[in-house]
Amino acid sequence: MLKPLGNRVIIEVAKEEEQTVGGLVLPSSAKEKSQTGTVIAIGDGRVTDNGTKIDMVVKEGDSVLFEKYSGTDIKYEGKDYLVVKETDIVAIIG
Amino acid sequence: MLKPLGNRVIIEVAKEEEQTVGGLVLPSSAKEKSQTGTVIAIGDGRVTDNGTKIDMVVKEGDSVLFEKYSGTDIKYEGKDYLVVKETDIVAIIG
Amino acid sequence: MLKPLGNRVIIEVAKEEEQTVGGLVLPSSAKEKSQTGTVIAIGDGRVTDNGTKIDMVVKEGDSVLFEKYSGTDIKYEGKDYLVVKETDIVAIIG
Amino acid sequence: MLKPLGNRVIIEVAKEEEQTVGGLVLPSSAKEKSQTGTVIAIGDGRVTDNGTKIDMVVKEGDSVLFEKYSGTDIKYEGKDYLVVKETDIVAIIG
Amino acid sequence: MLKPLGNRVIIEVAKEEEQTVGGLVLPSSAKEKSQTGTVIAIGDGRVTDNGTKIDMVVKEGDSVLFEKYSGTDIKYEGKDYLVVKETDIVAIIG
Amino acid sequence: MLKPLGNRVIIEVAKEEEQTVGGLVLPSSAKEKSQTGTVIAIGDGRVTDNGTKIDMVVKEGDSVLFEKYSGTDIKYEGKDYLVVKETDIVAIIG
Amino acid sequence: MLKPLGNRVIIEVAKEEEQTVGGLVLPSSAKEKSQTGTVIAIGDGRVTDNGTKIDMVVKEGDSVLFEKYSGTDIKYEGKDYLVVKETDIVAIIG
C-alpha cells in the first residue's frame, strides 16, 4: 500500500485506445499523453505555514482530469502510476 | 459532467467568424485565438493558506473575456474546452 | 458592458497627436506608446489570501498615467482598450 | 497635478553639472545617471495583503538618494520626472 | 548519530538488484537512481514564519518513495545516505 | 546627513592595505573588494506586511562584515559609501 | 569576536586528510569540499515578518554537516571560516 504525503494523489492513468492514422498504428511515443485517470490513494492534505490542514477535495475512486506533463511517474509493484499534487488536478469527472 | 477544482473555470471558447483577407479564407493557424467564451462550470473557489475559501465571482453561463494564451486546452466527450483560473479572467461581459 | 475582475481597470488609451519629424508623418509603429488614458470600468478590488478585499483607489472617469508596456490589449465592440491591474497605474492626473 | 498610487513617489531628478574630460563636454548619454532628486508627490502608502496601510516615510520636498536604474521615466506637462517605489529610495538627505 | 535539522529526513537508499541487458551487467552510471529507501533519522519539523512547528509525518523505519533527483548525497562513517526534505517524500510504503 | 530608509545601513568600507605581488603594486581593480566597514547610519527598520516594524540589530559605529558584492555604491559629499540591507550583514565584529 | 546576524552560523570547516591517488598527492582544487565543521558562533535567530524570533537549534561547539557549496567564505584574523544560514545545516553530528 502506498500512502501519499501532503496534498499528493496517486493516479492510475487511463489507457488510451490505440489510435490509427490512415491505418497505421502509432507507436506510443507519437501519441499524446493521456490526461485522465482514477485516483488510487490520497494524502491527508497540505499543512500550511500557520498549521492549517487543507482538506483534500478528491477521494479514492474519483475519475480525474489532470494537467498535461504534471506530476512524477512512479513504478510500484510492477505497475506504473502518476503522482500529482491536488493543485494539478483540473476537474473531477462525475 | 466536469467539476473544476479550486478557482478553475471551464470555458467554451467562442467561435470566431470566418475571416477573409482579400477573399482568401484564412486557415485557423493564421488567425488570432479567440478571447471570449461562455462559462460552463466553476470550481468551489481557492482555499488560501489560512484556510479561507475565496468565493468565485464568475458563475455558469457568464460570458467572459480572458487573457490570451492563458489556461489549458482539454478535450471532453469530443468537445474542446479551455480551463482557466479565475485570476486569468479579465472581465465579465454583461 | 464590461465588468473587470479583481483589481483590473479598463482604460481607453489617449490618442497621441500626430507627430511629424521634418515634415514626415510617422507611422504608428514608429511612435512611442501612449502612457495616459481614461478609466472606463473598474473591478471590485483584489481579494487577498486572508479574505480581505482591498478597495480600488481609481474610479471611472479618472485620467491615469500607467506603466509603459503593462496590461493586455483587448478589442470590444470594435474599439480597443487596455486592461491593467491597478498596481500598474502610476498616478491619477487630477 | 499628479497623485501617485500606492507607495510610489514622483521625483524631480537633480541636474548634474556639466562634466568635462580634458575640456571635452560629455554628451548626456556618456554620463552616469543622477542618483539624487526632490520628492514632488507621494502616494498614500502600500496596502498589504491583510489590509494594513504602510505609511510613507518620505514627504514632499525631501531630497532623496535613490537606487540607480530604478523606477519609470514619465513626461508630464513637458517635464521629465522619475517615479520610484519608496522601497527604491535609499536615504533621505537632510 | 546524525540529527537532521528542520523537516529533513535521512534515508538509506534501497540497493537495486543488478540489472543485466542481454547478459551485460550495467555499470551503476547507466542505471536509473533508486526511488525508495528507509528512513534512518528525522528532524523535529519545519518552524514556519509565525513560529508554528509543523510535525513530521514520516518516522524512523518507514519505507518511503521519494522524488527522483531530490536531496543531497552525504557520506557519514563510510556509508552513503540521502538527505531529503519531507516535502520531497512522495509516499510511505506500508 | 543621510538617513537610510527601511533596513538599510550606510557603511564606510575599510580601506585595504596596499597589496604587492613580487614588488608590483596591484591596481585596485585587481584586488578583491573589502568585506568589512564601519556603520555610519542606520534606517528605522523594515516594516513588514502586517505593519510590524523589525528593529535594527546593528548600530552606528559598529564594525561589520558584509556579503561580498552586496549593496549599492553611493557617492555623497565626495566620499564613497556602500548601502546594504541589514540582511546582507554577516556579523558584527566586536 | 564575530557575532553573526539573524540565523547565520560561523563554521570552522573540518580539514580533510590528504588524499592520494596512486601515490600522487592531490592539490586542494582537485578535492571535494568538506561538508563538516564545528560551530564557532551563532546568531540570535531569524526574525520573521510578524516579529516572531525563531530560536536557533544549533549551538556553539556543535559538529555539523552542511549543504555543499552553501554559505560565504570569510577571512577573519588570518583564519578562514564559512558562514551559512542555519537552514543550510543538514544535521548535527552527535
Residue E25 lies inside a defined structural domain of this protein? no
Nearest residue in B to C4, CA atom:
B91
From the CA of C48, how many Å to the nearest CA of chain D? 5
Chains in touch with C (3+ beta-carbon pairs under 8 Å) read B, D
Which residue from B35, B49, B91 is facing C4, i.e. has the nearest CB? B91
Altogether, the residues listed in chain C come to a count of 94
CA–CA separation, F35 and C49 (whole Å): 40
Q: Which residue of C has its CA nearest to B91?
A: C4
Q: What is the pLDDT of residue B41?
A: 97
Residues of A with CB under 8 A from a CB of B: 35, 48-50, 52, 54, 57-58, 65, 67-68, 86-87, 89-94
Can you read off the three cell numbers belonging to residue B29?
Answer: 493557424
CB contact under 8 A, A65 and B47: no
Flag whether F69 is in a domain.
Answer: yes
Give the pLDDT confidence score for residue E77 in this predicted structure. 82
Which of F65, F86, F92 lies nearest to residue G74, judging by beta carbons? F65
Dump pLDDT digits (tens) for A15-50.
865 555 566 655 555 455 568 999 999 999 999 888
Please give the Cα distance from B68 to B35 (Å, whole number).
Answer: 6
Q: Collect all residues of chain C within an 8 Å Cβ-Cβ radius of residue B45.
A: none
Residue F50 is predicted with a pLDDT of: 82
| Tens digits of residue pLDDT in A49-76 | 888 899 999 999 999 999 888 888 888 8
| Best residue in A39, A74, A79 for a mutation probing chain E (most E CBs within 10 Å) | A74
Has residue B25 got a pLDDT over 90? no
Task: Tell me, yes or no, whether B26 lies in a domain.
Answer: yes
Establish if G87 belongs to a structural domain.
Answer: yes
Helices (H) and strands (E) in chain E, counts: 0, 9
Q: Which residue of C has its CA nearest to B57?
A: C5
Q: What digits encode the pLDDT tens for the residues C8-41?
A: 999 999 886 555 556 666 555 545 556 899 999 9
> C15 Cβ partners below 8 Å, 6+ apart?
C34
Residues of chain G in contact with residue E2, where contact means CB-CB under 8 angstroms, are 65, 91-94
Distance CA B64, CA B61 (A): 9
- The mean pLDDT of D2-31, rounded to a whole number, is 74
Residues linked to residue A25 through DSSP beta bridges, in sequence order: A20
Considering only the beta carbons, identify the residue of C48, C65, C91 that sits closest to D49: C48
Contact between chains at F90 and G5 (C-beta distance less than 8 A): yes
% of chain G at pLDDT higher than 90? 54
**Residues of chain F positioned with their CB less than 8 A from the CB of D85:** none
Chain mean position to CA D12: 6
CA atoms of D22 and D27, how far apart (whole Å): 14
Grid cell in block for residue A68: 498535461
Among candidates E48, E52, E92 on the partner chain, residue whose Cβ is nearest the Cβ of A5 = E92
Better pLDDT: E21 or F53:
F53
Q: Which residues of C touch D39 (CB under 8 A)?
A: none
Stretch D39-65: mean pLDDT:
94
How far is residue A55's CA from residue F41's CA, in Å, rounded to a whole number?
Answer: 49
Q: Is residue D73 part of a domain?
A: yes
**Residues of chain D contacting residue C34, judged by C-beta atoms under 8 Å apart:** none
Count how many domains chain E has. 1
- Strands (E) in chain E, as ranges, are 2-4, 8-13, 20-21, 24-25, 36-42, 63-66, 72-76, 79-85, 89-93
Cβ–Cβ below 8 Å for E83 and G92:
no
What's the CATH code of the domain at F79?
A: 2.30.33.40
Beta strands of F1-94 (E only): which ranges? 2-4, 8-13, 20-21, 24-25, 36-42, 46-47, 53-54, 63-66, 72-76, 79-85, 89-93
Q: Where are the alpha helices (DSSP H) in chain E?
A: none
Strands C8-13 and C79-85: antiparallel
Give mean pLDDT, residues D38-44.
Answer: 97
Question: What are phi and psi for residue C58, nearest 5 degrees?
Answer: -75, 155
Q: Which of A65, A70, A85 to mutate to test the interface with B (most CBs of B within 10 A)?
A: A65
Among C68-77, D38-47, F70-79, which range has the highest average pLDDT? D38-47
Give per-residue pLDDT as tens, G17-62. Answer: 555 556 665 555 545 556 899 999 999 999 988 888 999 999 999 9
Residues of chain F with Cβ-Cβ distance to G51 below 8 Å are 48, 52, 54
Mean pLDDT of all residues in E6-13: 96
Q: Is E26 helix (H, G, I), strand (E, B) or coil?
A: coil
- Using a pLDDT cut of 70, give the percent of chain D over it: 80
E strands, C1-94, in order: 2-4, 8-13, 20-21, 24-25, 36-42, 46-47, 53-54, 63-66, 72-76, 79-85, 89-93
* B13 in any annotated domain: yes
Q: What is the mean pLDDT of residues B69-93?
A: 90
Q: Which of B43, B49, B48, B38 is CA-nearest to residue B14?
A: B38
The model's pLDDT over G58-80, given as tens digits with 9 standing for 90+, comes to: 999 999 999 888 888 888 888 88
pLDDT 10s digits, F13-25? 988 655 555 666 6
Min Cα separation C40/chain B (Å): 12
Contact B68, C72 (CB under 8 A): yes
Q: Which chains touch F (3 or more CB pairs under 8 A)?
A: D, G
Would you state the pLDDT for residue D70? 85
Which residue segment(s) compose the domain that D46 sits in?
Answer: 8-16+23-93
Tell whether A67 is covered by a domain: yes
Can you tell me the distance from the alpha carbon of G74 to that of G85, in angstroms, rounded to the nearest whole number? 14
pLDDT at position A70 is 84
What's the pLDDT at G43?
A: 97
Put simply, the answer to whether C83 touches B89 (Cβ < 8 Å) is no
**Which H or E run includes G74?**
strand G72-76
The alpha-carbon gap from B45 to the nearest alpha carbon of chain A, in Å, equals 12
| pLDDT at residue number A16 | 65
> Do C5 and B48 count as a contact with CB atoms less than 8 A apart?
no
Return the percentage of chain C with pLDDT > 70, whole number.
80
Complex ipTM value: 0.79
- Residue C50's pLDDT band (cuts 50, 70, 90): confident
- B46 vs G23, which has greater pLDDT? B46
* Collapsed DSSP state (helix, strand, coil) of residue D3: strand
The answer to whether the CB of C92 falls within 8 A of the CB of C56 is: no
pLDDT confidence of residue D49? 84
Indicate whether A12 belongs to any domain: no
Mean pLDDT of chain F: 85
Chain B nearest CA to A8, separation (Å) = 14
Task: Return d(Cα D41, Cα C65) in angstroms, integer.
Answer: 14
pLDDT exceeds cutoff 70 at D21? no
How far does the CA of residue B2 sit from the closest CA of chain C (Å)?
24
Interchain pair F8, D91: CB under 8 A: yes
Size of interface F-G (CB pairs under 8 A): 48
Backbone angles phi, psi at F88, to 5 degrees: -95, 0
3-state secondary structure of D28: helix
pLDDT in tens, E11-60: 999 886 555 556 666 555 545 556 899 999 999 999 988 888 999 999 99
pLDDT at C67 over 80: yes
